[in-house]
Amino acid sequence: MKFQAIIFDLDGVICYTDEYHYLAWKAMADSLGVPFDRTVNNRLRGVSRMESLDIILERYNGTLSRAEKEALAEQKNELYKQYLSRMSPADLTDEVRSTLNILDEMGLLLAIGSSSKNAPFILQQIGLGGYFDAVSDGNNITRSKPDPEVFLKAAQMLCLEPSQCLVVEDAVSGAQAGHAGGFQVACLGDASAAGAGEYNLSTFSELLDVVGAEERIPYGA
């Protein structure tokens, strides 16, 4: 088998919480009178919470202390968690669920590599709490993507080398992180459109072709 494990980014790959991030950051930016739109929001994908805040504050006319910045980041996160609480297993598509199950049945180890500190809560909400063999997230890293730390720690948790693992990402910065760590990368979304991976996919289920699975998911099933 080409790979022994697959390490997935969470948001934009397994599920989608981009809109919740946008609404929470916008509410926080509005409270400061800072212009914030979807173009700026797109720069935040795959970036840690505090680094995201620094990007938003590029348009802020003033100076904030570290404590004030931390309070703003916490304000955003509380709003975001309120939105996340609305998530349910219905937010996991049949395609993603079926693909994960086939990969698991093939004997591949499955892990999460996400910069989000909310990854465990999101997984619980969508019915995947305890599903993955390892979860490396914003709670156990000090550097966010494009630094490879989150993926390297996931591989360590699985007791595997990067060359034995495939990273799945939708952000260019995430693909860069995978490559920086010595991983091959399969891309979806923006990263796929940019040709950022060894494998640039149109759909999640195309992962089955990448790993050479014999079983396929029937479309429209």
Token look-up 């396929």 returns 216
CB 32 within 8 A of CB 69: no
What's the full length of the chain, in residues?
221
User: How many angstroms separate the CA atoms of 168 and 179, rounded?
Assistant: 11
The catalytic residue positions are 9, 11
User: How many angstroms separate the CA atoms of 203 and 75, rounded?
Assistant: 35
The DSSP bridge pattern shows strands 165-169 and 134-136 to be unpaired
Residue 218 DSSP symbol = P
Look at the alpha carbons of 147, 150, 49, 12 in this order and tell me if their dihedral is positive or negative: positive
| Span between the terminal Cα atoms of the chain, in Å | 28
Paired residues of 111 in beta bridges: 7, 134
Here the tokens at position 86 are 């609305």
